[in-house]
A = this chain, B = another copy of it.
Amino acid sequence: MNKGEATRREIIEKAAPIFNQKGFEGASLSDLMQATGLEKGGIYRHFESKEQLAGEAFDYAWKTAMDRRMAGIEEIAKSVDQLKQFVRNFRERREGLVPGGCPLLNTAIESDDGNALLRRRAKRALGGLLNRLETIATEGLKRNEIKRGIDTKELATLIVSTLEGSLMVSRLQKTDEPRAMACRHLEEYLEEKVRN
């Protein structure tokens, strides 16, 4: 990585918490200058626009979140236990996340009627996550670990919807309990209705 690439990377990492907490519209130039310690010209030498920087900051924040959410899953044998690990990670593995809550939830809500570039990135992130979970469930069906008749796409969508919705409630109430409730519900559902 040369010096320009390193600076660009550093700007992305320092801008990510600003965008994730304040949103694309709410993040001001002075916020970004303060976070990066650079002047306007120093930032925009590396990015075409605020939109481009926000897009890269989203991808960075989302990769960080996905690394946590998927941690330890590959070492687990059974598909239902992999899905349970995903749920557990959502509740427990939050060290090192970009502050401000889930980047997907934040960016999806802000951009669903708004910025097209950010909306595309959020949609791609969601699609990637649903695919990962669906693939786990499909493997489980093939190996007879998951009950016949389970719709793997529906299962993946339900897990993501329940967790992301509970995060909204937890963050608004400033308590972990709603997230923990959602996780317990999904774990019970996976044991009782999904595991073969």
Contact = CB atoms under 8 A, between A and B. Distances in A.
Contacts of A110: 23, 26, 109-110
17 contacts: A23-B114, A25-B26, A26-B110, A108-B171, A108-B172, A112-B171, A112-B172, A123-B172, A126-B169, A158-B181, A158-B185, A160-B165, A161-B166, A161-B168, A161-B182, A165-B165, A165-B166
A157 interface: yes
**Interface pairs A-B: 4 shortest CB-CB:** A165-B165, A161-B165, A25-B25, A161-B166
B172 A157 contact: no
A21 B101 CA distance: 20
Interface of A: 21-23, 25-26, 99-101, 105-106, 108-110, 112-114, 119, 122-123, 126, 154, 157-158, 160-169, 171-173, 177-178, 181-182, 185, 189
Nearest to A168: B108
Contact of A157 (B23, B119, B178): B178
Contact of A165 (B100, B114, B164, B181): B164
B154 A160 contact: no
A55 B165 CA distance: 22
Contacts of A161: 162, 165-166, 168-169, 178, 181-182
